A and B are shown apart, each in its own frame.
Chain A
């Protein structure tokens, strides 16, 4: 890696010192750290959630199970575990939009969305979305009709929320995989909408 050849920053030195001492004391197995990182870099991410949403769009019985017991329905697709132990799915509909936040820290449904983006964990989003959701959505380029009701869900306990965005119009003939490709990470947090066909 590049940093091996350059001056280490203070924080890099501090992390390296911590890992060294923890290894010397036998509290960690450095190989386990590599597996953890690989898991969240390459295996667990928002494509999981996109598959859940696409399934809910094409399969009404699955959608019903998802809205009734999201933890079990999501596990049907093989996604479960840490930071997704107690899932609730909330569905957008005409006139109703849902947005998720954790004002107190960074609670986020890891098994379906992976690790949260920087903005989700940062003070501007956490402080403002509960107070001015329309203003925050505008910063994501999303403008909802004035008549649309907005619910902001503050994840204060161990329940994790997944937004089911509205299915875009004109997608009737699409396969489940093609539909999943329209489901963005932000649309499952509520700061975006699912892509229209042909939109990138």
Chain B
């Protein structure tokens, strides 16, 4: 089965108007808050990483029909089942039937503040020199990835300019596949809108994204 991300929607049409929302309520139902908290707390078990959870969400076949926290809920259930922490029968029944599997950690209330403060920095020591420098012209990879990637479709095979070198970071593509951190240089690459959108682009519009080195070749 080819890998399909349903989340890669930059530049697509047909989703309608944006509906602004006043500053204030962050949850629109009690269950949304529980899903956010369950996602963070179960992430602390250490059985998957952030890139694996993004991959689990973006490959949900009904991704575009779900609300945001429904995506999180279904993605979380998928990870829990895939990683063997629970069975789909147990979730349907709402009752544990099998013994738990060992996990790295069970997050306690008094550990929450420290967990959030620590975060999960992705910068790592650089062991190779950066291949590109600011001002250099680059082209992004043309071929779609057969796995989770953070190279959006709308910037594939496009020519841009390296603007900033961001250090060496955990490589999402490898990390999502369970292939370790595989740290790679990360760059901000900027594109003129005309390179991305052709004649409909307005002057003075540019778009940048953050690209790991394997996404880029010299142009």
Contacts and interface: CB of A to CB of B under 8 A. Distances in A.
Contacts of A105: 7, 54, 57-58
Interface residue tally on B, bucketed by range: 35 or more
Contact of A156 (B68, B85, B209): B209
B115 to A, nearest CB: 8
Q: Is the interface of B mostly helix, strand, loop or mixed?
A: mixed
Interface string B17-39: 11111010011111101111110
Contacts of A21: 86, 90-91, 94-96
A85 B95 contact: no
Given A123-B64, A156-B152, A130 B196 contact: yes
Contact of A85 (B11, B28, B113, B121): B121
Contacts of B172: 157
Interface of A: 1, 3, 11-22, 24-29, 31-37, 39-41, 45-46, 80-86, 101, 103-106, 114-115, 117-119, 121-128, 130-131, 133-134, 136, 139-141, 147-159, 184-186, 191
B91 A17 contact: yes
Contact of B210 (A83, A127, A134, A156): A156
Contacts of A12: 29-31
A104 B18 contact: no
Contacts of B186: 157, 159
B90 to A, nearest CB: 5
A121 B31 CA distance: 18
Contacts of B12: 123, 127
Given A25-B86, A82-B119, A157-B186, A41 B206 contact: no
Given A25-B100, A103-B154, A151-B207, A14 B73 contact: yes
Contacts of B196: 130-131
B37 A85 contact: no
Kindly list the 3 A-B residue pairs having the minimum CB-CB distance in the complex, ordered from nearest. Answer: A103-B10, A17-B94, A157-B210
Contact of B17 (A86, A124, A157, A159): A124
